[in-house]
Structure 1
Amino acid sequence: MDNLSIILGFAGGLGMFIYGMQIMAQGLENAAGNKMKSLLEALTKNKLMGVLLGAAITAVIQSSSATTVMVVGFVNAGIMNLQQAMGVIMGANVGTTITGWLVSSVEWAEFLSPAKIAPVAVICGVILMISGKRRSSKEIANIIIGFGLLFIGITTMSSAVEPLQSSPVFREVFVKLGSNPFLGVFAGFAITAIIQSSSASVGILQSLAAAGLVPFSAALYIIMGQNIGTCVTAILSSIGAKKNAKTAAIMHLLFNVLGTVILGSITIAYFWILQPEAGNGQITQTQISVIHTVFNIATTVMLFPLSNWIIKLAKKIGRIDEAAVEVSDVQLDDRMLETPGIALQSTVNEVVRLGYIVKGAMAVSKRVLFTQKSEDIEYLKNEEKTADKLTAGITEYLIKINTKQIGEKEHQEVAHMLQIISDMERVSDYTENISEFAENMREKNIKFSEIGGTQLKEMLEVCADSYTYALEAYENQDRDKALKVIEEETRADDLEVSLRNQHIKRLAKNQCETQAGIVFLDALVCLERISDHARNIAEEVLQQIEE
């Protein structure tokens, strides 16, 4: 077989391997659905929980690079601090070993031989995809098809390089990599940096090992280099991010470099001093999986107690501190779009944050018409600008999520959120209107009559409660709170009609100032519409709960 045929066969197999891995990962991620979202809640736990979370997410998406890029996004968005990020980064290195075990299963589980199972997996997956009507069936089909393509790809790569067994030049290359640790580490680093996937890089190594081409020592050094190479993706991802996000990428690099230096030193001492001949034997796919797993677990266990020191060193190298996030900054990041399920949950958190900003404006609105303080008026105007900025940012991000491969349920959730943030933004607009009424009253020295002020306070209380219940209903997906909103909105409607009629009678009897009366009626309109938007939010929540 000529060199061109070997290169084309190997490249085709690599492409099929990576494509199969991505299809399977996407199917697993979509099938995980809400479970992936619930994992996000663990970010508030301790660092050990972060390690477990990082391992779990990476096992699903099968890419430590993607997990770390997502971590950079979380830190950049202010959702995760550097302590939490450190735990997830450590766990990601462990989770990425899953792909290697899938590939090596052909050795320790004969029934999983690619020649037997891969074609069957692909045809079964295709049949399920064509015949399945439910979303879950199609996701399972993707997992099965990706599994089959992954095995076909690794078999194609192994078959393509078999002729190289008799090539003295190719064997000499691997002997050099095994005898020179720095060359071996660099080779692993370069390959992983180029294809930006340590899982795929390990798969390449295993395909070469299946052809009997890789010495034991060379494999160890290459695996260590692969762990450093996987940091390149996160470093590239941090370009243009905030300073603390760059620190997260530096932490990832430091963690993997320190692990390689410490364990690499032990490995070199073993092969050069204790057992010089041990490194010359051929390694198997299963042994590569074992070494890859042991190396990453050992690195995590060894450096876990030093994680705070690694964070401090990363900050010192980057000459930065964790940056404060502006309240008006949208705390979402495009890096999280690689895992739409988690991106969606992050957006839910941001919608809730917007909701509480508007709730704060509602609280000030309850007093501003009576105090007419300039700081309250200015606060409401600024908060409306903040709400506008957040609404625009969240909307843009939701549209991006909607273009990803997400299920029907997620599409519906996006639609609900778009409606909810629109209602929240409208409530914010009405609080600004109220601040303008207060400003007008201050400039013209307008005061409500005693009875008018009492009645307006009652309306303010009802509408503020209505919005608060709506926000809590959305945040906790609480059906009872949503129904309470509908009750309060009905009460607000009735109260608005009653107060308007009473006020018109007072005007007819000259019992209040005309200008104060105009503000009173305008304020009633704003407050009634706030309760309407609160009801809209509640109805969206009820639809979500029922779906």
Structure 2
Amino acid sequence: MNILAMLIQFLGGLGLFFYAINTLSDSLQKLAANKIRNILFTLTKKTWLATLFGIVMTLALQSSATSTVMVVEFVDAGFMSLSQGLNVSLGASLGTYIVIKLISLPIFGIAQGLIFCGFILYFILKRNKFKTIGQCLISFGLMFVGMTFMSNAFAPLKDMPEIYDLLHQFGSIPILGIVAGCVLTALMQSSSIFLAIMISLSVHGLLSLESIIALVMGAHIGGTLTTLISSLGAEKIDAKRVAIANTLIRIVTTILMLPFFSEFAQVVKFFSNDLPGQVANAYLFSTILMAILFLPINKFIAMALIKFIKAKAEPDAALKLKYIDSGSLNVPAVALNQAFREVRWMGQEILELMFEIIPRLLLSRNSDWIKVIEDTENKIDWHYIELSKFIANLLNQELSQEQIIQAQNIQLIAKEWEQIADRHIMLARKISKINTSNIPFTEEDIDSLYDLYTVTSNIFLKLLRGFEQRDKTIIEEITTDRKEICSLHNDLKVKIISKNVNGLAENKNIILDLENSIFRIGEHIENIALLLSY
């Protein structure tokens, strides 16, 4: 086989493996990402449970990088502490080992069977869930096909002494192997792919055990560099902390292992005689060592990170998304969680800067409060537009049907918030007209509007309290409360229309407009409650 043919076969195998592992990760995210979020609270209470969660999460998503992104989001959302996040990250490394161990096994025949089973599920059955499972099986099988292509491409290299000597230099000079493993893994942006290439080389004896260990140690560090570099420009401080901790933990582990390089090689050799198995075991034992060294002190590491890596103070006036990071679009479960938190924050802003301001404006007749409401309305409009762009980009990703519905509902909720904000601007301007005009309004008029608005405000508060729970009983309560609003609305309307106001029709019209705006706000609240039930 000439060099060109060998290169084409290797690149073809690499491309197939890369495609398969990414497709597998995307498919598993559709099946598992939301479930992972739901079981999170149970599995991160203790250190060993958090580590187990990291293993399960990486196995479920087939990507330690995706797992790290989710960890950052969970920490930022307050679902877990920084030390728990570091425990999960260490578990993610152990999850990667299981993937590497599987691809080191000679199961090409089984892989072909998996592809056929996946074909049946994907092309013959109609349900989306079965199609996704079929896609997983096809991708898993294609990983081994890609591995076989790469392994066959490397076969002629065993007859080239110069290549053999070069690769063995990585073991003779461990620092060289560590640097090479680090750089190559960072360039490929995947430790799994680099380790797959190592396994393909080791099948033909092109790597010595010492070379394998040095390259694996480098792969540990290189696998964190992409996340580290991307986090430096990120706004989320927890992304920086987790990324820096992951890289430093691996560098320190590597430094501590160097004096015991030969002893470590003997341990790896004791558990496996074949070189492909030694690649997987070298990765496993180095990860176990990392866990033994750092799991007991992760709380202290987290405290140090919080102390030395602090968030920058930013002006409150700046318009920017609170929780959304466009980099999360590649992990839909994380992107959806960020969008949900953003839309919840919008509701909280409306409560604090609109619902709590209108009564002051109504009772004190101080028009200075209008500026607060106008600024809030502009802020809500801006967030609605930016959130809509984010959701539109998210819907262009590979999403499950459940995730599509969630994304669409979040956008609809944001639209309802925007309309509630618009209603408040109308309310504020009408109230200002009352305050600045000579049109006579009685205390009874103001009190009636205040009562109607108070009932509506209480329903809104109940909606926000139940926002996270998505409890269907909340909808029933809000529906019942809406009946009270309808009753007050009708009574007030009849009272206004039948009231003798000395022929001043403008008085009636303003009060009716105010009353109608409050009533419409109640409709938007009910719409949001219904969206949360889906």
Q: TM-score, normalised by structure 1?
A: 0.86
Match of 2:420 among 421, 424, 427: 427
| 1:181 and 2:181 are equivalent in the alignment | no
Cα displacement (A) at 1:356: 2.4
Match of 1:539 among 511, 530, 533: 530
Q: Contact conserved, 2:28 with 2:62, CA < 8 A, in 1?
A: no
Q: Contact conserved, 1:50 with 1:88, CA < 8 A, in 2?
A: yes
d(CA) in 2 for partners of 1:255 and 1:190?
17
d(CA) in 1 for partners of 2:33 and 2:236?
31
Match of 1:338 in 2: 330
d(CA) in 2 for partners of 1:98 and 1:391?
43
Change (3 A) 1:220 1:370: same
Cα displacement (A) at 1:311: 4.7
1:76-155, aligned counterparts within 5 Å?
Answer: 82-83=82-83, 85-106=85-106, 113-114=107-108, 116-155=109-148
d(CA) in 1 for partners of 2:429 and 2:339?
31
Report SS of the residue matched to 1:540: helix
Cα displacement (A) at 1:71: 4.8
d(CA) in 1 for partners of 2:175 and 2:510?
78
| 1:384 and 2:373 are equivalent in the alignment | no
Match of 1:110 in 2: none
Q: Contact conserved, 2:83 with 2:301, CA < 8 A, in 1?
A: no
Decide which moves more: 355-364 or 367-376: 367-376
Match of 1:329 in 2: 321
Match of 1:358 among 350, 359, 363: 350
Decide which moves more: 346-355 or 435-444: 435-444
Cα displacement (A) at 1:218: 0.9
Q: Contact conserved, 1:463 with 1:531, CA < 8 A, in 2?
A: yes
d(CA) in 1 for partners of 2:48 and 2:508?
62
| 1:467 and 2:460 are equivalent in the alignment | yes
Change (3 A) 1:263 1:276: closer
Change (3 A) 1:243 1:355: closer
| 1:199 and 2:188 are equivalent in the alignment | no
For residue 332 of structure 2, what is the amino acid of its counterpart? P
Deviations 1:79-120 (A, max 9, x none): 8875454344333322222220211233xxxxxx21x11222
Match of 2:253 in 1: 259
Deviations 1:179-222 (A, max 9, x none): 10111101211220111100111111111112222211111110
Change (3 A) 1:340 1:277: closer
Cα displacement (A) at 1:309: 5.0
For residue 266 of structure 1, what is the amino acid of its counterpart? F
For residue 399 of structure 2, what is the amino acid of its counterpart? I
| 1:164 and 2:157 are equivalent in the alignment | yes
Cα displacement (A) at 1:531: 0.9
Match of 1:241 among 230, 234, 243: 234
Match of 1:415 in 2: 408
| 1:4 and 2:4 are equivalent in the alignment | yes
d(CA) in 2 for partners of 1:431 and 1:537?
17
Report SS of the residue matched to 2:105: helix
d(CA) in 1 for partners of 2:323 and 2:43?
15
Cα displacement (A) at 1:172: 0.8
Match of 1:477 among 465, 470, 476: 470
Q: Contact conserved, 2:114 with 2:141, CA < 8 A, in 1?
A: yes
Change (3 A) 1:295 1:514: same
Change (3 A) 1:500 1:494: same
Q: Contact conserved, 1:29 with 1:61, CA < 8 A, in 2?
A: yes
Cα-Cα RMSD:
3.2
Change (3 A) 1:2 1:315: farther
d(CA) in 2 for partners of 1:208 and 1:61?
26
Match of 1:304 among 285, 290, 295: 295
Q: Which has the higher contact order (CA 8 A, sep 6+)?
A: 1
Decide which moves more: 328-337 or 124-133: 328-337
d(CA) in 2 for partners of 1:387 and 1:302?
48
Deviations 1:362-399 (A, max 9, x none): 23334431123466444333332332233223222211
d(CA) in 1 for partners of 2:268 and 2:290?
26
d(CA) in 2 for partners of 1:101 and 1:9?
23
Q: Contact conserved, 2:395 with 2:407, CA < 8 A, in 1?
A: yes
For residue 321 of structure 1, what is the amino acid of its counterpart? K
Deviations 1:299-346 (A, max 9, x none): 123123343554566678xx7412468696331112222221232233
For residue 500 of structure 1, what is the amino acid of its counterpart? K
Q: Contact conserved, 1:388 with 1:425, CA < 8 A, in 2?
A: yes
| 1:17 and 2:17 are equivalent in the alignment | yes
Report SS of the residue matched to 2:104: helix
Q: Contact conserved, 1:119 with 1:148, CA < 8 A, in 2?
A: yes
d(CA) in 2 for partners of 1:253 and 1:294?
18
d(CA) in 1 for partners of 2:397 and 2:179?
35
Cα displacement (A) at 1:9: 1.6
Deviations 1:434-453 (A, max 9, x none): 33334444444878423223
Q: Any stretches of 5+ residues in structure 2 without a counterpart?
A: none
Report SS of the residue matched to 2:423: helix
Q: Contact conserved, 1:332 with 1:347, CA < 8 A, in 2?
A: yes
Decide which moves more: 372-381 or 288-297: 372-381
| 1:372 and 2:374 are equivalent in the alignment | no
Percent sequence identity over matched residues?
27
Q: How many residues align?
A: 528
Q: Contact conserved, 1:103 with 1:285, CA < 8 A, in 2?
A: no
Decide which moves more: 281-290 or 451-460: 281-290
Match of 1:287 among 278, 292, 303: 278
Q: Contact conserved, 1:161 with 1:208, CA < 8 A, in 2?
A: yes
Q: Contact conserved, 2:486 with 2:519, CA < 8 A, in 1?
A: yes
Cα displacement (A) at 1:44: 8.4
For residue 384 of structure 1, what is the amino acid of its counterpart? E
Decide which moves more: 208-217 or 143-152: 208-217
Cα displacement (A) at 1:123: 2.1
1:428-467, aligned counterparts within 5 Å?
Answer: 428-444=421-437, 448-467=441-460
For residue 262 of structure 1, what is the amino acid of its counterpart? L
Match of 1:27 in 2: 27
d(CA) in 2 for partners of 1:296 and 1:504?
77
Deviations 1:247-289 (A, max 9, x none): 4432222122112111233225766xxx79989x975222222
Q: TM-score, normalised by structure 2?
A: 0.88
d(CA) in 2 for partners of 1:402 and 1:203?
32
d(CA) in 2 for partners of 1:440 and 1:45?
56
d(CA) in 1 for partners of 2:206 and 2:19?
25
d(CA) in 2 for partners of 1:150 and 1:505?
78
d(CA) in 2 for partners of 1:157 and 1:330?
45
